[in-house]
A and B are shown apart, each in its own frame.
Chain A
């Protein structure tokens, strides 16, 4: 097997024990849009190797302003395009991808092997569905709400609830208010989601 250059680089920053912890965790990502694609990139760069990622959508021109896709990927299923992009960072990642809509009936099955799940949907109704479907599951769940526009990014805070549940965002800046989703705030929110996971895994 070819030398894994990402791993070689990561060994400069993490101990073997830390890397083993990171590589061992299977992370679920619900949605491969602005939050999901960027959170996945942050996690792969941090050494995470096992993922289950679901999204029913295809890459569109209106995604390129903030999502981790390239112009030549327009028209491809997001999960497939994201898989290709993540493998360019680490060719040895293990991906379980689903090109289908997650609904209350399939969420628990799809994420059965994931002790950690990222809520990375666009629509508030789908966000609520996922959080409620995983409530009480004991999984670490990191959701986001309120990240549209270009206002003060320090307002994108992390709130911790019971049952390993975190919510990132300012709670109010939704696209319902006419605010566009822009790269900087979406990136901040998705990076915060990834950071909670990294901290959790390294400090548990």
Chain B
């Protein structure tokens, strides 16, 4: 579809652009201490964007802007997840005391632009768009990670993020240049066609370039061995940004990986609900199985040793990236379905856990385990929802985390005997994670002095905590609406060769 026709299918993104511009302009009229008001403008704008996505999502599958991006229910699903995460994080940012000394206009503008970049990320089918969207998201995230200009921890986070981010996207770009040279195109479908008809001579070159490309994807989902930035960046950034980075860019990168691996390195059968077959001799499915296994093991084992709750959650988010990647090599519709369900469940439980960290930091000014002592009795609501999030992150019933993990393991078992060992490894990892998640609960309820006073957070914070806690609980018991929604979203734009 040409550029002019495409615009009529592009209204959610156009609306988002208008919202971003409105945020910038509105900020000009505000005094520094009132600048939080732009956050509400962004929130209302994003609600409008989500309505636009909902209206648009009626099963259209087409390419836009002369085959640069696609519009299909799969991308609409991820756009919804991303917008929801941005709305929740924006509201909570307004109540994050770390940001009080700073002007918030740029913060919300950048958050809007990251959302726009993620929209491109979930719908790109061209190597140029893949690189461009990763860079849009990365560059804005560098600034957001270092937003607390006076805090040396935040400075350090930004420096590490920028060095690792630029480095891994550079390596990815070099890999992309070889893919372009080998296949003569930047379009996913044409690359797939060229790969499946090429002789085996190009195989080594393809393996090298795919490993280089994995560096870029691995960095975005923070998979081992590209995870070194994660703990430091997550610990140093403003906690609201940590929450955002642990959910939205991960969802975007997973969507991009699903498209890339199933559409370029496999015949796309998984996207049509059939079993996929790899187009090259490249053992990429085994490589990803191995990465997923190492990622969840490293994340869980290192998380045990942490004394800082925020850092512990950073390692836990590495482990969860591993669980999500588990279903990638199955190359079936089931696997993609399981990843989408997991992302949706993970959104609520992980954001909720970080929101609790913010609430407690506002009160105690600290985020180590010592600062959590006895808080379960002093702040009953916060203690209760934190216990729920920790149980859900472990993957115990009756919570959303259990359903997410159940579908991941089910897709592996349906995938055949060669995946059984991954199920065993995933199960063992869940047991390890039980130790450090429940340590938070133990510290909150069984350590420190029990105080007589009972504190409740402010009304909006309470509302937000309950809003993330309810889906975490309800979706563990009744997840049919979400399952139906994902079932309907499992429609891709596929070009027949």
Q: Does A associate with B in a complex?
A: no
Q: B-contacting residues of A (Cβ < 8 Å)?
A: none
Q: A-contacting residues of B (Cβ < 8 Å)?
A: none
